[in-house]
Structure 1
C-alpha cells in the first residue's frame, strides 16, 4: 500500500513540505539550467545541482500573482494547476515555489483537502509551506504548525494535477504503435450468427496470444503520423473502437479421429466508440496512475511541431489533444509542460519607398501538458490557448 509522508522538523517553527503533488508545473527555470537549456547539450550533473539549489530558494516576489493569499486551505475538487494560478503568474513554476529539486519532482508526495498552504516571504523570495490541517467547520485564522505523518492506503483522496476528466478519455484512445505492432496482435475472427459488426454487450471471437491480460482495447487500421517538416513516418496511430473482456481462452483440441480443431477465444464487448468487426485488433488495457503525473519543464532545450489534431478537426482549442513530433528519444517525459507558439503572419512593410513583404515574429499563445510519450511521438493536452491550434504549429520549453 502506498504511504505518503509529510514531515516537519520539531525544532522548526515552520512546516517543511519537500515536494508538491502532481502539479501542472515546470521545474528548474533558474541559474545554470537556463544556460544549459540554451543549447542542445545535456545538462551536466554540476549544472543540475546548481539549478536544484537555486530552485530550493523559492521564487522571486515579482513572480507572485498580484493577489496571492498568505494562506490557502486545499479543498476537495482542487487541482495543483488551479492552486498554482492563485499564487503564481506562471503556474508551471509551481515546483520552484515549493523549493523542489529534480529528484523530488520525479518522486512526489501528495497534497490532500484540508491542508493549509502558507506563503512565506523572506529576502525577496517566496516559498510555500504546509500548516496543520484544518478540521471540518474550523473557521479560525490561526494556523498551527507541528510534526506529522500521513499514512494512506489509497491515493484517491489526494488532489490531482489537473481535472482527470480532461485526460482519462484519451489514455485509451490515443495510441501509437510501431509499423508492425498490430500485425501480430490478437484479432477478431468471427461473431455470433455471422454478424458483420458487434457492439456493447455482444460476444466476439478472436485468435492470438491472450496471456497478457483479461481486458483489451480494440483498434482498427493504423494511420501514419508524419513529421510536418521531413514527412518521415514517426509512428502509426491506431483508431480506438472500444474495450472487451476475455471470457474464455481459445484452445486447440482433437476431435477423436486424429483431427485437430481450433477454437478461438471468447470476448464480450464492454464499451464501444465505434462498432467492432472481423479483422479488428486487440491490445491489453493499460493501467494508469493519474495522480503520478508530475508536471515540470524539460531540463534542456526542446523544440518541435504539432503533427496532428486528435480526431477529425482541422484546428484545436483548450482541452483538446494534439500529437507532437518529439518523444522519449528526444527527452520528452510525461508531465512536461511546453509553450505553444503561433506562426507569425505575412505582412507588408509600406514605410519604405517600395513595399516589402515581411513575416511577423512567432507569438507565444498557449501551454501544452504532455501526458503520453512514445519513442518518437507524444500526446499533449492544450491547457490554455489564445488562438486556434493547427498542425505544424511550433512548441518549445516554457
Structure 2
C-alpha cells in the first residue's frame, strides 16, 4: 500500500509540474495515446523502451521504475525494459471527483497527545530476480570455506538436486543447513588502458548454491539447491551473501568516473540486459541501487584542423548497480542504444 501511494504521489507530481498529456477536451491527444474511463494509456510501438517512454511523457527518463511499477500486471518479464508492440501502458491516474459531505458538528475538544508521525514512504525499488548468480571482484582470490570432491553418484556433470561430497577448508566446520555459493577458479582482470601488468582484481563467477545436509563417516555431504552453470569437481565454496532481489534506488555519486573491466564468463560486448563489472566500488561511493551513464568519447575538430581537437562525451546508455565490493561493482545494462565494450567509460549523469 505504501509503495502504491508513493508511486501515485510521484506520478501526480510529474503530471502537475510538466503535464505531457492534455486533459482538456478541445486539445488533440498525442499519437499512440488512448483515453479510457480509468485514465490515459499508451500503445507500445516497435523499438520502444520504458526509458524512452518515460522521457517522452514525463520529461525525464529516470522515472522508468515508477512507470514499470504502475504497469506490473502488463509487464511480466523480470527485465522491465522487455516490452512488446501492442502492449497498453497506464500513464495517468483517473480524475475522481471529491464527494461533497455535510459539515459534521464540532467535536468536544479534549487534551490528547499528538498522533505519531506518519512513516516515510519507501523509495522505489528495482527487482532483479537473478541477483544470486551475479559474481563479484576482489583484489585477491577469496579464501574458500571448502571445495567439492565429487557427486555421491557417478555424474559427468553436477547439477541441481545432486548430492555432493565436500572437503571443508582446514580448521573449518560447515554447519548443517548452512548455505554456500559455488565458484570456479577466479578470473584475473586487467585494468583497461593501464600498464600490461596492472590488474583490477579477480572476478569470481558464481556457479550455484548448495546446502549442507549431513555428516556421515567423517564426510561432509551437501545438496545442490541451484545450478546457474555446470558445477565441477574442485569448485570452491563461500558463505552465501545476504542479497535481496528488490534493490531500493539511491542517488548517484556526483563526479564519479570509471570503466567497464569485465563481463560474464569472458563476455566483451554488452547490450541491454547484460551483466558487467566496473572498476569503482564502495571506497568510491558506489552503492547498490545507483544509476550511471555509459559514455562514448568522440574526438572532433570544430575548425576541421587536426591541431584543434576536442573530446565530446555522449551518453548512449545506462547501468544499474546490483552489488558492490571495496574497489569494484557489478551492474546491469538497463538501456543502451549501441553496444558497450571493455574499457567503455562509466560516469555520473549530468545535472
TM range (shorter): 0.5 to 0.7
Choose which of 312, 327, 332 in structure 2 pairs with 1:381: 332
Call closer, same or farther: CA 1:268–1:211 in 2, change over 3 Å.
closer
Kindly state the Cα deviation for residue 368 of structure 1 after the two structures are TM-superposed: 1.5
Q: Hey, what's the Cα distance between the residues in 2 that align with 1:59 and 1:303?
A: 30
Q: State the partner residue of 1:135.
A: none
Q: Hey, what's the Cα distance between the residues in 2 that align with 1:172 and 1:343?
A: 32
Whether 1:393 and 2:338 are equivalent positions in the alignment is no
Q: State the partner residue of 2:31.
A: none
Kindly state the Cα deviation for residue 331 of structure 1 after the two structures are TM-superposed: 1.0
Choose which of 237, 245, 260 in structure 1 pairs with 2:211: 245
Q: What CA deviation, in whole Å up to 9, does each residue of 1:227-255 have, x standing for no partner?
A: 213353333111222222211147xxxxx
- SS of 2:194's equivalent? coil
Whether 1:179 and 2:122 are equivalent positions in the alignment is no
Whether 1:92 and 2:58 are equivalent positions in the alignment is no
Q: State the partner residue of 1:42.
A: none
Q: Say if 1:220 and 1:280, in contact at 8 Å, map to a contact too.
A: yes
Q: TM-score, normalised by structure 2?
A: 0.63
Kindly state the Cα deviation for residue 367 of structure 1 after the two structures are TM-superposed: 1.4
Q: Hey, what's the Cα distance between the residues in 2 that align with 1:68 and 1:309?
A: 44
Q: State the partner residue of 1:329.
A: 283
Q: Say if 2:275 and 2:332, in contact at 8 Å, map to a contact too.
A: yes
Q: Say if 2:131 and 2:245, in contact at 8 Å, map to a contact too.
A: no
Q: State the partner residue of 2:263.
A: 309
- More relative contact order, 1 or 2 (CA 8 Å, 6+ apart): 1
Q: State the partner residue of 2:201.
A: 235
Call closer, same or farther: CA 1:263–1:177 in 2, change over 3 Å.
farther
Q: TM-score, normalised by structure 1?
A: 0.57
Choose which of 62, 66, 88 in structure 1 pairs with 2:20: 66
Call closer, same or farther: CA 1:219–1:94 in 2, change over 3 Å.
closer
Kindly state the Cα deviation for residue 222 of structure 1 after the two structures are TM-superposed: 0.2
Figure out how many residues of one structure are paired with residues of the other and give that number: 280
Describe how 1:109-128 pairs up with structure 2 within 5 A: none
Q: Hey, what's the Cα distance between the residues in 1 that align with 2:129 and 2:283?
A: 25
Q: Hey, what's the Cα distance between the residues in 2 that align with 1:220 and 1:65?
A: 52
Kindly state the Cα deviation for residue 282 of structure 1 after the two structures are TM-superposed: 1.2
Q: Say if 2:177 and 2:213, in contact at 8 Å, map to a contact too.
A: no
Q: State the partner residue of 1:223.
A: 187
Q: Say if 1:177 and 1:236, in contact at 8 Å, map to a contact too.
A: yes
Whether 1:189 and 2:155 are equivalent positions in the alignment is no
Q: State the partner residue of 1:363.
A: 314
Whether 1:168 and 2:119 are equivalent positions in the alignment is no
Choose which of 247, 256, 273 in structure 1 pairs with 2:228: 273
Structure 2, unaligned runs of 5 or more = 25-37, 40-49, 73-92, 100-114
Q: What CA deviation, in whole Å up to 9, does each residue of 1:161-187 have, x standing for no partner?
A: 33x3xx3324323233452424x3211
Kindly state the Cα deviation for residue 197 of structure 1 after the two structures are TM-superposed: 4.0
Q: Say if 2:134 and 2:330, in contact at 8 Å, map to a contact too.
A: no
Q: What CA deviation, in whole Å up to 9, does each residue of 1:68-123 have, x standing for no partner?
A: 889x98xxxxxx9899657632233799x9xxxxxxxxxxxxx9999xxxxxxxxx
Q: What CA deviation, in whole Å up to 9, does each residue of 1:296-317 have, x standing for no partner?
A: 222x321111112334333111
Query: What value does the CA root-mean-square deviation take over the aligned residues?
Result: 4.6
Q: What CA deviation, in whole Å up to 9, does each residue of 1:324-354 have, x standing for no partner?
A: 1100011111111112101316x789956xx
Kindly state the Cα deviation for residue 280 of structure 1 after the two structures are TM-superposed: 0.8
Kindly state the Cα deviation for residue 366 of structure 1 after the two structures are TM-superposed: 1.2
Kindly state the Cα deviation for residue 220 of structure 1 after the two structures are TM-superposed: 0.5
